[in-house]
């Protein structure tokens, strides 16, 4: 593997650390929308896992000689804007956002992690491991659709909006951070490699929508 600029690693870990921190906030907030105590407890446990992931990333940033807050700061505006523009209105929208929106981001981070040397590659893959949210979201959404078929149409529209906003914000982040852009282009090799990466992300998203019972 070719040498990777430490600044690119710090940028990636900083972005991911803030993503995990906001995931904790959102899961804790969404837990209060749960229609059952079991659902509330499930999301609370997932939120606890996310803050654990954040702490692991913050620890690694410190090891790299970077203050975690400093590494996260350049990414707060874009991620906050995305979450503000895609605030779920109910329990099911929150589940779809976590499964579809976060799923797309997770796929992207996994792709980029392949370009990193150890131990950072393994760390990124570790913190991206599913905390049980995917299975939980699928079960809850499919049950809701089975009970009321009109739910599928509304959630499909919501999911498409989420993906559009996620792509827009991702493009902005990469465009504003040269080291991340260089890491991506160097890792994929060329524009054809970037195109194949996008195809893989699109295919994974389509499959995720199918599993939920929604139209892509």
CATH code: domain of residue 166: 1.20.1260.10
Categorize the per-residue pLDDT at 122 as very low, low, confident or very high, splitting at 50, 70 and 90.
Answer: very high
Torsions phi, psi for 144 (to 5 deg): -65, -40
Could you read off the pLDDT of 142-191 as tens digits, one per residue? Answer: 999 999 999 999 999 999 998 888 888 777 777 778 888 788 777 777 77
What CA–CA distance (Å, rounded) separates 24 from 49? Answer: 8
E strands, 6-110, are none
Distances (CA, A) of 105 to 36, 45, 170, 205: 28, 21, 9, 10
Could you read off the pLDDT of 58-70 as tens digits, one per residue? Answer: 999 999 999 999 9
Identify the domain containing residue 30 by its residue range: 6-212
Mean pLDDT of the chain: 88
32 within domain boundaries: yes
What does pTM read for this prediction? 0.87
pLDDT at 131 over 80: no
pLDDT value of position 105: 85
1 within domain boundaries: no
For tokens 């499959």, what's the residue?
207
pLDDT at 3 over 80: no
- Cβ atoms of 115 and 186 closer than 8 Å: yes
78 within domain boundaries: yes
Categorize the per-residue pLDDT at 103 as very low, low, confident or very high, splitting at 50, 70 and 90.
Answer: confident
70 within domain boundaries: yes
Counting beta carbons within 10 angstroms of the beta carbon of residue 180, is it exposed (0 to 12), middle (13 to 18) or buried (19 or more)?
Answer: buried
Number of folded domains in the chain? 1
């Amino acid at each position: 593997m070719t040498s990777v600029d430490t600044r690119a690693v710090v940028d990636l870990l900083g972005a991911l650390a803030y993503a995990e921190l906001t995931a904790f906030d959102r899961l804790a907030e969404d837990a209060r929308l749960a229609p059952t105590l079991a659902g509330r407890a499930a999301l609370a446990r997932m939120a606890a896992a996310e803050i654990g992931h954040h702490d692991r990333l913050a620890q690694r940033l410190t090891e790299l000689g970077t203050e975690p807050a400093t590494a996260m700061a350049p990414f707060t505006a874009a991620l906050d804007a995305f979450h503000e523009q895609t605030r779920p209105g109910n329990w099911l929208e929150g589940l779809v956002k976590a499964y579809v929106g976060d799923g797309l981001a997770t796929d992207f981070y996994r792709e980029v992690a392949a370009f990193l040397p150890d131990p950072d590659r393994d760390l990124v893959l570790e913190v991206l491991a599913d905390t049980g949210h995917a299975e939980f979201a699928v079960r809850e959404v499919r049950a809701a659709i089975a009970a009321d078929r009109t739910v599928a149409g509304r959630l499909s529209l919501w999911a498409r909006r989420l993906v559009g906003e996620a792509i827009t914000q991702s493009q902005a982040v990469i465009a504003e951070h040269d080291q991340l852009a260089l890491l991506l282009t160097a890792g994929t090799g060329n524009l054809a490699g970037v195109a194949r990466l996008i195809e893989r992300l699109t295919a994974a998203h389509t499959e995720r929508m199918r599993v939920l019972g929604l139209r892509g």
